[in-house]
Amino acid sequence: MDGADSERKEAGFKERTPVDEARRILSDAAVGDGDRPTTGTETVPLERADGRVLAAPITAARDVPHYRRAAMDGYAVRAADTFGASERSPEVLRIGDRNGDVGPDRAVRVHTGSALPDGADAVVMIEHVEELSDVGELEVGDAVAEGENVAPIGEDVAEGARLYEAGHRLRPSDLGLVRSVGYDRLEVAQRPTVGVIPTGEELVEGDPGPGEVIETNGLTVSRLVERWGADATYRDVVTDDAEALRVAIQRDLTRDVVVTTGGSSVGERDLLPEVIDDLGEVLVHGVGLKPGHPVCLGIVEETPVLALPGYPVACIVNAVQFLRPTLRRLEGTTPDPHPTMPAVLERKIPSEPGTRTFARVRLEEREDPPADEPAFAATPTRASGSGVLSSVALADGWVVVDDGREGIAEGETVAVQDWESHP
């Protein structure tokens, strides 16, 4: 242990890096200033493109629709032939063959989406006509204008239209549109790969004995990684041994990101900051964040290494604040804001100046709130306790107290972040 490590372990965290600065430092080291995916790209069929990030813009290869089509069930006509038609004084047209053209004083039956026959320039709705089938004629009781009830070529999408830019995350509706304009495969960013390494000699997989704890952090983080659009490799527990930790990190340097859980603070068994610094460089150790200030962010052989705290809530908070944005940058995007719900705070949330606090809350519908106030109330599940997993798992979200505030008073309207529902 060198002098700096010794002083840190003795003094703890005298200074903590602000959250935004820590995120910027990690991002710059991991990705730099580029906006292209650093994970590389691949071409996938549309059926596998949902949730993927476009690596190249999409331009419509054809018009949609690519033909003039009927927008209503009815009869295709020449609009001029219906001029002056009304229920009292209908125009009489001959019914032509379904596969024929529309000529003077002739109408052809069409259905919604049918190609408009040659010669036609409008469609009379079926409810505005009366068929005289015995004589093969049609009474039109409503005049139509040229183009009425007709979808022109390119009404939905015009050939050459720019639909999506690189960096757009695809949704199911996007895939339908992309297929309609002529694509069946797309170039997308490769999914980032993440090695998730739970650490701690007290961790077990099965029934715990005295002093033992069931491993949950690695499971939670690996599932968050998958939800955020990356591929996780969930490793077996590694004990608190410097050499074992070194080998585990080096094994996963083939991944885009390495994440460890536990052993990130300044205690005797918190070896990861020293191991990371020995293998590469510790960029940040100690962040102005609660719960979870003893996070360690580093870089080893150009691979970001995130040592998340062992307390479950602290681990989750740091994963959302640092791992999620890192994965987004690697695929060439930025994180979307979390959905929020306004609510009236039922109890004060304390916070220290210079610390960004994430307070877990439950939401309950209020009885007869004033019209200008939120419909929900937010009650903190706990004021502290970063090791109490139920405080986040049974919460409806969290309220963020910004670095510059000394808490939030009871009765204030707050924004409850639904951090878990957004990819």
pLDDT digits (tens, 9 = 90+) for 374-407: 999 999 986 455 556 666 778 899 999 999 898 9
Q: Is the pLDDT of residue 163 over 60?
A: yes
pTM above threshold 0.75: yes
The average pLDDT across 12-30 equals 89
- The percent of residues in the chain predicted with pLDDT above 70, rounded, is 92
The average pLDDT across 43-50 equals 96
Q: Match 């069409």 to its residue by tokens.
A: 110
Confidence of residue 32 (pLDDT cuts 50, 70, 90): low
Cross-strand pairs, 198:
261
Closest CA to 395 of 418, 423, 376: 418
Predicted confidence at residue 385, as pLDDT, reads 55
Which amino acid, residue 203? L
What pLDDT, in 10s, does the model give residues 165-210?
Answer: 999 999 999 999 999 999 999 999 999 999 999 999 998 888 888 8
Alpha-carbon gap, residue 162 to 159, rounded angstroms? 9
Q: What is the Cα 27 distance to its own chain's centre? A: 19
What phi-psi label fits residue 391: left (phi over 0), alpha (psi between -120 and 50 degrees) or beta?
Answer: alpha
The average pLDDT across 267-274 equals 90
Predicted confidence at residue 3, as pLDDT, reads 46
What pLDDT, in 10s, does the model give residues 227-249?
Answer: 999 999 999 999 999 999 999 99
What pLDDT, in 10s, does the model give residues 293-340?
Answer: 999 999 999 999 999 999 999 999 999 999 999 999 998 888 889 999
Q: Is the pLDDT of residue 6 over 60?
A: no
Confidence of residue 90 (pLDDT cuts 50, 70, 90): very high
The average pLDDT across 74-98 equals 93
Predicted confidence at residue 98, as pLDDT, reads 84
Q: Residues 321, 327, 333, 336: what is their CA dihedral angle, to the nearest 10 degrees? A: -40
What pLDDT, in 10s, does the model give residues 101-141?
Answer: 999 999 999 999 999 999 999 999 999 999 987 888 999 99
Q: Is the pLDDT of residue 10 over 50?
A: no
Q: What is the 3-state secondary structure (H, E, C) of the chain?
A: CCHHHHHHHHHCCCCCECHHHHHHHHHHHHCCCCCCCCCCEEEEEHHHCCCCEECCCEECCCCECCCCEECCCEEEECHHHHCCCCCCCCEEEEECCCCCCCCCCEEEEECCCCECCCCCCEEEEHHHEEEECCCCEEEECCCCCCCCCEECCCCCECCCCEEECCCCECCHHHHHHHHHCCCCEEEEECCCEEEEEEECCCEECCCCCCCCEECCHHHHHHHHHHHCCCEEEECCCECCCHHHHHHHHHHHHHCCEEEEECCCCCCCCCCHHHHHHHHCEEEEECECEECCCCCEEEEECCEEEEEECCCHHHHHHHHHHHHHHHHHHHCCCCCCCCCEEEEEECCCECCCCCCEEEEEEEEEECCCCCCCCCCEEEEECCCCCCCCCHHHHCCCEEEEECCCCCCECCCCEEEEECCCCCC
* Pairing of the two strands 69-70 and 74-77: unpaired
Alpha-carbon gap, residue 260 to 215, rounded angstroms? 12
Predicted confidence at residue 386, as pLDDT, reads 55
Predicted confidence at residue 314, as pLDDT, reads 93
Q: What is the mean pLDDT of the chain?
A: 91
Predicted confidence at residue 310, as pLDDT, reads 92
The average pLDDT across 264-277 equals 91
Q: Is the pLDDT of residue 159 over 90?
A: yes
- The percent of residues in the chain predicted with pLDDT above 90, rounded, is 78
Which amino acid, residue 181? V
The average pLDDT across 59-65 equals 95
Confidence of residue 421 (pLDDT cuts 50, 70, 90): confident
Confidence of residue 34 (pLDDT cuts 50, 70, 90): low
Confidence of residue 259 (pLDDT cuts 50, 70, 90): very high
Alpha-carbon gap, residue 355 to 403, rounded angstroms? 5
Q: Which residues contact 221 (CB under 8 A, 6 or more apart)?
A: 196, 232, 259, 261, 308, 315, 316, 319, 323
